[in-house]
Amino acid sequence: MSSANRLILIGLFLLFSLQAIQAQDSLGWQKNVSDKRLKTLSYGLAGGYALSMTGLYFLWYDGYPQSHFHFINDNHEWLGMDKVGHATTAYQVGLYGYDAFRWAGMSEKKAIWIGGSVGFAFLMTVEIFDGFSAEWGASTGDLIANTAGTALFISQQLLWKEQRISLKYSYHGTTYRKYRPDLLGANGFQALLKDYNGQTYWLAVNPKSFLPETSRFPSWLDIAFGYGAEGMTGATENPTEYDGHPLPDFTRRPVFLLSPDINLRKIKTKHKGLKFVLTALSFIKVPMPALSYDKTENIKFYWLYF
């Protein structure tokens, strides 16, 4: 499993862990630091870090040969999908980390820097694991992507005190994984994490936040620009056969998309349970109509794109 696949799994665990910590009490933010909430958050993050990294090590690194710390250049793999995955994971975990520290009553600026860096800190550990593994290696491209995702969150929060531009994730099933189930997923859940052909990463812009306050443009409506890739049955090139059987000659190609999106964080509700659910799921790009472009199919319209 590639590094970005592992990141999706770790990212989902961290996102829901941070949400679960906040759900133990009122979802409202404290005006001053709450010792109870800060201790709960600190213990939760420490436990989540230890559990996720221990599990990651024994699942993906234990039993593989170790080496001296080294770097690799894997920027050419998967048409860049794993790098966009790194940036998205760093951004979203930083956003939820900020939410958690503000919930604990930490000041705005401290929560931005400390909470916003949670994703970067977790992902740095993954790079260290990779760097000491002979099977992989620390990736300079991953580090740049991790930094970019973290910087996107921190810079916006410092500049605007809100997130006007966000990174999101979506997935749809593909037929490619049946040709390489070992690499792209033997079942639906594995495919969700491993099949880059079905993953799409989105840059969602909130027009309302750039318009005058008198504008009637819906605050919950975003415009999303997506990036995906198709035709990949290998990291750098497609093999001609698998398990003794010939494989079709797929064209590896990037896919660019344009779609409206619903900003779940902008939906106003006084119901704490609903607010929790909307916030927890806000990293997902909501399925909507979309236009796509790639060099094989040119422009294509979807009534509903996942």
Q: Is the dihedral of CA 197, 169, 117, 155 positive or negative?
A: positive
pLDDT band at 163 (very low <50, low <70, confident <90, very high): very high
Domain ranges across the chain: 1-161, 164-306
pLDDT of residue 272: 84
Residue 109: in which H helix or E strand, if any? helix 108-115
Q: Quick check: 48 pLDDT over 60?
A: yes
- Residue 206 has a pLDDT of 98
Q: Among residues 58, 49, 61, 66, which one has the least CA distance to residue 13?
A: 49
Determine the Cα–Cα distance for residues 306 and 292; give it in Å rounded to an integer: 12
Confidence at residue 301, expressed as pLDDT on a 0 to 100 scale? 97
E strand or H helix at 201, and its extent?
Answer: strand 199-205
Name the token pair of 71: 């770097």
Rounded distance between C-alpha atoms, residue 215 and residue 210, angstroms: 10
- Tell me the three state secondary structure of residue 71: strand
Distance (Å, whole) CA 268 – CA 274: 10
Asked if the model's pLDDT at residue 1 lies above 50, the reply is no
* Structure confidence at residue 44 (pLDDT): 79
At 177 the pLDDT is: 92
Q: Amino acid identity of 252?
A: R
Picking from 39-53, 242-256, 273-287, which range would have the lowest pLDDT averaged per residue? 39-53
pLDDT digits (tens, 9 = 90+) for 242-253: 988 999 999 999
H or E stretch at 290:
strand 288-294
CA dihedral 233, 238, 240, 244 (to 10 degrees): -40
User: Directed axis angle between helix 35-56 and helix 81-103, to 10°?
Assistant: 150
More confident residue, 251 or 136: 251
Residue 258 pLDDT > 70: yes
Nearest to 150 by CA among 182, 185, 112, 190: 112
pTM of the prediction? 0.90
Across the range 63-71, mean pLDDT stands at 89
Which whole-number Å values give the CA distances from 37 to 12, 44, 112, 282, 300, in the listed order?
22, 10, 17, 23, 49
Tell the residue number behind the tokens 């970019």, with chain if given: 148
The DSSP letter of residue 134 is T
d(CA 180, CA 186): 8
User: Higher confidence at residue 300 or residue 134?
Assistant: 300
